[in-house]
Amino acid sequence: MNPKKVFIRGIGSYLPERVLTNRDLEAMVDTSDEWIVSRTGIRERRIAADDEFTSDMATQSARRALEDAKMSPQEIDCILLCSVTFDMAFPATACIVQKNLGISSCPCMDIEAGCSALVYSMEVAAGLLQLGHYKNILVVASDKLTSITDWQDRSTCVLFGDGSSAMVLSTEASRAQAELVDTLLRAEGKDGEILMQPGGGSRHPASVETVQNRLHYLKMNGREVFKGAVRGTGAVLKDILARNRLESAALQHIIPHQANQRIIDAVAETFAIPLDKFVVILHRTGNMSAGSAGIAFDEAYREGRFAENDLIAFATFGAGMTYATALLRWLA
């Protein structure tokens, strides 16, 4: 028996209001607008308010995706939320979003796969839908990365921002915008130490020492992440194209993780894909971890960039290290 087809029925995203520019950062650490733009492409990023949490941004993007799907929250029968900055260790932030949406009883769970988590969650949602237990799954990616950003570390603090994206995945084709054609996930745990937030878990529970040693902030070996990103993203993209007997020229749009323009340039060069096929928003958002790719996807959708039958590929990498790609065919 062929597995049921899975569709995207609603898409939404949310960016907080406050803008932090490279010039603002120049006043905070020893950096320059010129360095940040030339090394990353980032010019500004959005910062959540002090009392605005991952679940609040997630709720906003979820509401927009539901509105886009013309669905009420009651029609959602499962919530998956991905992040690296959950509201707290437990309960799951997905449960908080369920409460915010005014619904109850549907299963809710959090998924952690670094910046690849949206695509990971799309595959998990597709599998759950194909089991036949659910009809409409809300997948939300939300990160308040600035809550774990070390504002004294110029090598990381210039890179990140906050934001959220959401989509409704469904076995119902009516009013769907896109069909989920395929997903491919990968992880390399041996590379985990190049990108992590060491403090706060069972290995380094919060203590005076973990705070003094700044272990509750994001730590990164940027050069190694950069190399892994180009290699790993390229590999999953190549493999999903081969598995679907497609050439890269068949892709009309690539939705990359929004981390660094130079990473996107390198992937484009590897595949000889014209840069204008890549949806890039990082110059005005920075890297918003799991939320990034979905926000780029939503903005391109709302700008009318996708046409019927267009093939769209997500291509992401993140802490883990994780790598993930999804192929979509645009329907509407």
CB-nearer residue toward ligand UT7: 5 or 39: 39
Contact 35, 321 (CB under 8 A): no
Instruction: Output Rg (C-alpha) for the chain, integer angstroms.
Output: 19
- Active-site annotation holds for 253: no
Which listed residue (155, 201, 274, 302) binds ligand UT7 by CB under 6 A?
155
The residue type found at 284 is R
Q: Which stretch binds ligand UT7 (CB under 6 A): 6-14, 79-87, 151-159, 168-176?
A: 151-159
Q: Is 22 a catalytic residue?
A: no
> Whats the size of the chain, residue-wise?
332
Nearer to ligand UT7, 34 or 209 (CB): 34
Question: How many residues contact ligand UT7, by CB under 6 A?
Answer: 19
| Per-residue DSSP letter, 192 | G
Smallest gap from Cβ 83 to ligand UT7, in A, equals 13
Strand partners, 85: none
CA distance 99 to 117: 22
What is residue 5's DSSP assignment?
P
Helix (H, G, I), strand (E, B) or coil at 292: helix
* Count of Cβ atoms closer than 10 Å to residue 135 Cβ: 14
Residue 222 in contact with ligand UT7, rule: CB under 6 A:
yes
Q: Return d(Cα 143, Cα 86) in angstroms, integer.
A: 7
- How far apart CA 77 and CA 8 sit, in angstroms, is 15
Residue window 52-91: x/- pattern of binding to ligand UT7, with contact defined by CB under 6 A = ----------------------------------------
The distance of closest approach from Cβ of residue 270 to ligand UT7 in the complex, given in angstroms and rounded to an integer, is 16
In whole angstroms, the minimum distance from the beta carbon of 281 to ligand UT7 comes to 14
201 within 8 A of 185, measured Cβ to Cβ: no
DSSP bridge partners of 323 = 186, 317
Q: Nearer to ligand UT7 by C-beta: 103 or 236?
A: 236
**How far apart are the C-alpha atoms of 12 and 297, rounded to whole Å?**
9
| Residue of the chain from 225, 236, 264, 290 that contacts ligand UT7 (CB under 6 A) | 225
Strand partners, 185: 324
Residue 234 as a binder of ligand UT7 (CB under 6 A): the answer is no
| Interacting positions 265-294 with ligand UT7 (CB under 6 A) | 287, 289
CA distance 112 to 267: 25
Residue 115, interface with ligand UT7 (CB under 6 A)? yes
Name the phi and psi angles at 172, rounded to 5: -90, 120
Binders of ligand UT7 among residues 31 to 50 (CB under 6 A) are 31, 35, 39-40
Q: Nearer to ligand UT7 by C-beta: 154 or 305?
A: 154
C-alpha distances in angstroms, 178 versus 157, 265, 326? 36, 27, 12
Active site residue 106: no
If the CB atoms of residues 78 and 194 are measured against ligand UT7, the closer one turns out to be 194
Stretch that binds ligand UT7, among 64-72, 150-158, 198-206, 298-306 (CB under 6 A): 150-158
Does position 227 interact with ligand UT7 (CB under 6 A)? The reply is no
Query: Which residue's Cβ lies closest to ligand UT7?
Result: 222
* Residues acting as catalytic residues: 115, 257, 287
Q: Which parts of this chain interact with ligand UT7 (CB under 6 A)? A: 31, 35, 39-40, 115, 154-155, 158, 220, 222-223, 225-226, 229, 259-260, 287, 289, 318
